Amino acid sequence: MALLNFKKRGQSAPATPPAAVEALLKDYSIEVMPRTAEKVEDFCELLPEGTRVYIAHIEGTPIEDMVATARRLADQGYPVMPHFPARIIKDRATLADWIARYQGEAGVDQALVLAGGVAQPHGEYHSSMQLLESGEFGKAGFKRLHVAGHPEGNRDIDPSGGIDNVSAALKWKQAFSETSDAEMALATQFAFEAGPIIEWADTLKANGITLPIHIGIAGPAKLQTLIKFAIACGVGPSLKVLQKRAMDVTKLLLPYEPTDVIADLAAHKAANPGFNVTHVHFFPLGGINANATWAIQNAGASGVPASAR
């Protein structure tokens, strides 16, 4: 346990070895939207070869824009994982049509299946479990399916602030993964502190949830931007990391970087190889360029963009 960044009062924490950080960031993934992807001239200048790129499907985004973004990324050699938000998919025919478009035009064979942050469903679906139960992904031969995880709970699912509904959903997804031909994993909401993430991941494992965890991490961004997104997305206890930073005038105007949370998770992973956080998934809330540049500077060989290899 010597690598952990625990410290006594008045002492500095031991530095996390760069190799541990590089190992955690190996094969990281990142999220884009059609409108943010348009601002990137060449993804090969920013992202390592083989980086999985999620495409977030925000309510109101035409499927044509989603598919065009998927096709562009696939043409540049990146595996693409579009979001399938249940609450904006009208019916099974729409679901099948989206899958067919992604496959036919961009060769997509993986998806993030989630409920979606829409209060009123557009049709017959309201949960990711209904999409999985439809059998459409299996029929299309999708090789990888990710589902949502929430290290600090989710008030959309558990309005009272508890975890009963989230826990039941995870048990269902674990059982589904044991019968599915697709590889499955949890892709989580972002958090800002390693402690709650580690506790949550360990609790899942103790309760028989063995799906690999791709932990959500917010990329570099202005503090005000992160606080806005964190509140909107229901980030829980780790929000205090940002609030504490906001009270420090010496840091208020500096951009937040995920250096500390990544270092702490990397140290824990190095000391506990069975830790079930296997990958990092970046939310580039301060921009794709800023996030990719941070990875290039901090991830060693694991951050080297495709064009430089």
Residue in this structure with the two tokens 């009270």, named with its chain if needed: 247
The residue range of the domain holding 83 is 20-308
Answer yes or no: is 296 within a domain: yes
What is the three-state SS of the chain?
Answer: CCCCCCCCCCCCCCCCCHHHHHHHHCCCEEEECHHHHCCCCCHHHCCCCCCEEEECCCCCCCHHHHHHHHHHHHHCCCCEEEEEEHHHCCCHHHHHHHHHHHHHHHCCCEEEEECCCCCCCCCCCCCHHHHHHCCHHHHCCCCEEEEEECCCCCCCCCCCCCCHHHHHHHHHHHHHHCCCCCEEEEEEEECCCHHHHHHHHHHHHHCCCCCCEEEEEECCECHHHHHHHHHHCCCCCCHHHHHHHHCCHHHHCCCECCHHHHHHHHHHHHHCCCCCEEEEEEECCCCHHHHHHHHHHHCHHHHCCHHHC
Predicted confidence at residue 117, as pLDDT, reads: 76
| pLDDT given at position 208 | 95
The number of residues in the chain equals: 309
Provide the pLDDT for residue 83. 98
The reported pLDDT for the residue numbered 8 is 34
Hey, is 107 helix, strand or coil? coil
- Whether residue 57 is contained in a domain is answered as yes
Tokens of 172: 């269902």
Count of domains for the chain:
1
Q: Given this model, what pLDDT does residue 3 score? A: 33
Could you tell me if residue 15 is inside a domain?
no
Supply the CATH number for residue 272's domain.
3.20.20.220
Query: What DSSP designation does 256 have?
Result: B
Is 195 inside a domain boundary? yes
pLDDT for residue 269 = 97
In a domain, 2, yes or no: no
Per-residue pLDDT 10s for the chain (309 aa) are 233 333 333 344 457 889 999 999 999 999 999 999 999 999 999 999 999 999 999 999 999 999 999 999 999 999 999 999 999 999 999 999 999 999 999 999 999 999 987 889 999 999 999 999 999 999 999 999 999 998 876 555 645 555 667 788 999 999 999 999 999 999 998 888 899 899 999 999 999 999 999 999 999 988 777 766 656 655 555 556 655 655 554 455 567 899 999 999 999 999 999 999 999 999 998 999 999 999 999 999 999 999 997
Q: Is residue 5 part of a domain?
A: no
